[in-house]
Structure 1
């Protein structure tokens, strides 16, 4: 009996083993068939991923290759190209070299006069009486006589368009009482603007020896500016007086009714000159200013500015051999900027900073208050540049923040930095870090409970630290 039971048990065990084996084989087959599409898909994805790598590499290589300054073959003593909003220097060739600027000096006179009008100290239609100094001034001029009367605007246009030295001196004396008093204003402004090498001897840019003798400065120090000085000065003009082109873009101006010929703008590169036979070869798209300059010592200089596709650039070339050459060289400099660079928003306004999403505000209902950057951050970068590598450094307010705080309260700063291929410098901009919402003060009962909780937490940590 026992033997029969043992046999039955053995047969049952074999049948069970057989069923498990068959089930295992079936399960294995099912797994294999089910995994096959996945493996094919995985292989397909891998193939697709591999095939996109060259495209990614190709996308990376679409970044504009910035040519060297040397490759431009500039025939100048110095040159510079800047973007005025950020102040970025895009091209630099001996830009810190102090040189005679000639009539580019008048940009400072233009700035000061326009600023006084902007402040309401003078009006454009105020009448100026010409004095002896202006009447005796030589060089480019409109032949003012002592006692002549003209409005500030008329003289200003003569200065900006025709580079009239006598009109410039007349304005300087009207504003400050004497030209040398105005020169002090010019030098004070140069310090305020941070012009590294600039020194002004007069309002015009004439050599001291060419000034009327009795009005020459006693120290004998000639006017000098570097290309960098001129670019910074131009930056102040276009940013503080955005209507500058109302004067500088005029092609011609008839100063007096009796004049047989109008004043012709010395700036041949004005875009409006594209249809003028004598100047169309120099006309440049978007160019609307600023100032030429020429003396025997200075050679030929030009500070130009043009705007294309929402980006304005300022160029300065100094020490070219001819009046035509200063425009040829300026074209090279401006083309370098517009062909190779573009403005790009790096950080959107009110962006969250990774790692500093909130700040602790004492006595607030919610002690962790969200914070964001106060404004957008844009840089001028090589065209097609990858801007994903921007870095952020946060500097929070040292003193504790206590509720209540209004939305938009400054709680620190964040500095964004970016180094692009093709740029020698690391671009940086610092903006405020502000609260993204109101931080209301908590009620007394909540503050009491919070204080009790902090007390016992500190007590527990103190006891724990004993062991």
Structure 2
């Protein structure tokens, strides 16, 4: 009887230990954002911000993240998408930087950060952009939105459509400037992606990287612009990009800095103060530049291959790199085995439309795939007419 009692006691103790272990495992697996914050096992960064991310601008590689896909109010960081749509419209010829923008009553009525536009006042697209980029002008944002789309509501629809095209899954806009409104949100990751796109434009970098400038400089009412992002004055290599604050969003910042040819985008959202926001972004940038480097593979504009065009007006299409391609590696890493491969057919039938997918650029380190990029046709090649094809066939008979 004694032996039986002791045996039962041992079994009970083992069951209790097993149950305790199961509870601990369950608690650990349910840790908030444990899967999302895989970068948190590394450096202790952005401790005070609700959400944060550091991304290599060239490759899009995430260096560190914390709650990076959490939907949060973005405040004035919203204007990154506003400026991106305007710059893309300029690129496409839909707008000119010299076009005049008139200030509507609605634009002039915007509160918060502004450049104090008066109803009917006119500025060029370039001047308005400067007012948005440096002084975070809510009024200038609405004026530009109305200029490009007719109404701010239509412009917001364009913002949301562009967000979808960029693959942003946690972003929805309700206005062009980020003033508080329900159902207006983004995430640190999505903002980093937008920022990468915007910082490709030299003009924007010339605005966001400047600490001070003027609007209406040669008038009776010059307006002194002081950049809301103080890092451009105090951090070596900082050249953008956008701050944000509302009582709901707290202190937000998407910052860009470049050193030794490597551009890094750092985003914090929901920081408790300006000082902490700037300090945490500075730490993330410092960590990135100290630990990593970009290994360049292909320069922008370099011909990386060609494609035979069957029955096309042109027989061959050169594949030109639309951007520089590089790989983010740890400093001191062996780069000897890094190489790229083009994964595409040798030929394709006409017609070929500009922007249509034609293959992939695969980057390897040894046998391991590191990164892949979709390749798009850099030009349109129409199908050749029968007379041209006949001449081409006849000519080939005599060669």
TM-score by length of 2: 0.69
1:395 and 1:127 map into 2 onto residues whose CA distance is: 46
User: Does the alignment pair 1:235 with 2:196?
Assistant: yes
User: Aligned residue for 2:153?
Assistant: 180
Counterpart in the other structure of 2:104: 131
- In the aligned structure 2, how far is the partner of 1:347 from the partner of 1:166? 41
CA distance in structure 1 between the aligned counterparts of 2:54 and 2:60, rounded to whole angstroms: 10
Please tell me whether residue 379 in structure 1 is matched to residue 352 in structure 2.
Answer: no
**Alignment match, 1:80:** 53
Closer, same or farther: CA 173–374 of 1 in aligned 2, 3 Å: closer
Question: Could you give the per-residue CA deviations for residues 62-119 of structure 1, whole angstroms, max 9, x where no partner exists?
Answer: xxxx995443363211111111221111111111111111000001111111222222
Distance 1:350 1:122 in 2: 30
Q: Which has the larger radius of gyration?
A: 1
User: Partners of 1:99 and 1:181 in 2: how far apart?
Assistant: 23
Of the three residues 364, 370, 381, the one matched with 1:427 is 370
2:206 is aligned with 1:246: yes
CA contact (8 A) 1:377 1:429 kept: no
Ranges in structure 2 where 5+ consecutive residues have no aligned partner: 1-38, 305-318, 349-357, 376-395
SS at match of 1:262: strand
Q: CA deviation at 1:154?
A: 1.8
Q: 1:149 to 1:413 in 2, by over 3 A?
A: closer
- Within 5 A, what are the aligned runs for 1:380-395? 380-388=328-336
Query: Cα offset for 1:415?
Result: 3.3
Question: Which structure has more strand as a fraction of its residues?
Answer: 2
From 189, 198, 209, the equivalent of 2:171 is 198
User: Structure 1 residue 175: deviation in Å?
Assistant: 1.3
Choose which of 241, 258, 263 in structure 2 pairs with 1:312: 263
Matches within 5 A, 1:379-458: 379-388=327-336, 397=345, 415-418=362-365, 427-429=370-372
Q: Does 1:100 align with 2:73?
A: yes
CA deviations 1:238-289 (Å, max 9, x no partner) are 23x233212112222322334476121101001xx2xxxxxxxxx1111110
Cα distance between partner residues in 2 of 1:426 and 1:108: 32
Deviations 1:145-200 (A, max 9, x none): 22222222222111110001011111111111111011011111111111121110
Please say if 1:332 is aligned against 2:279: no
CA displacement, residues 182-231 of structure 1 (integer Å, 9 cap, x when unaligned): 101111111111112111000000012xxxxxxxxxxxx43111001100
Relative to its length, the structure with more helix (as a share) is 1
Query: TM-score under structure 1 normalisation?
Result: 0.60
Q: Which residue of 1 aligns with 2:3?
A: none
CA distance in 2, matches of 1:413, 1:243: 30
CA distance in 2, matches of 1:119, 1:150: 21
Contact 1:301/1:319 (<8 A) preserved:
yes
Shift in Å, 1:414: 6.9
Whole-Å Cα distance in 1 between the matches of residues 297 and 215 of structure 2? 48
Q: Aligned equivalents of 2:124 and 2:170: distance in 1?
A: 33
After superposition, give the CA deviation of every residue in 1:340-397 in whole Å (9 maximum; x if it has no partner): 001124799999xxxxxxxxxxxxxxxxxxxxx9989631100011345658888674
Separation (CA, whole Å) in 2 of partners of 1:391 and 1:297:
47
Q: How far apart are the structure 1 equivalents of 2:291 and 2:131?
A: 36
Which whole-Å CA distance do the structure 2 matches of 1:157 and 1:140 have between them? 14
Structure 1 distance, partners of 2:248, 2:228, is 19
CA displacement, residues 399-451 of structure 1 (integer Å, 9 cap, x when unaligned): 9x9xxxxxxxxx9867343499xxxx96223698xxxxxxxxxx99xxxxxxx
Q: Which SS does the other structure have where 1:244 is aligned?
A: helix
Report whether the alignment pairs 1:167 with 2:115: no
Q: Which of 217, 230, 241 is the aligned partner of 1:268?
A: 230
**Paired residue for 1:297?**
248
Counterpart for residue 237 of structure 2: 286
**1:393 and 1:414 in contact (8 A); partners too:** yes
Which consecutive unaligned segments of at least 5 residues does structure 1 have? 1-65, 209-220, 274-282, 352-372, 402-410, 433-442, 445-467
CA distance in structure 2 between the aligned counterparts of 1:111 and 1:414, rounded to whole angstroms: 26
- 2:126 corresponds to which residue? 153
SS for the counterpart of 1:134 is helix
Query: What SS does the corresponding residue of 2:264 show, helix, strand or coil?
Result: strand
Matched residue of 1:254: which SS?
Answer: strand
In 2, the alpha carbon distance for the partners of 1:392 and 1:124 equals 38
How many Å separate the matches in 1 of 2:44 and 2:86? 40
The number of residue pairs the alignment matches comes to: 310
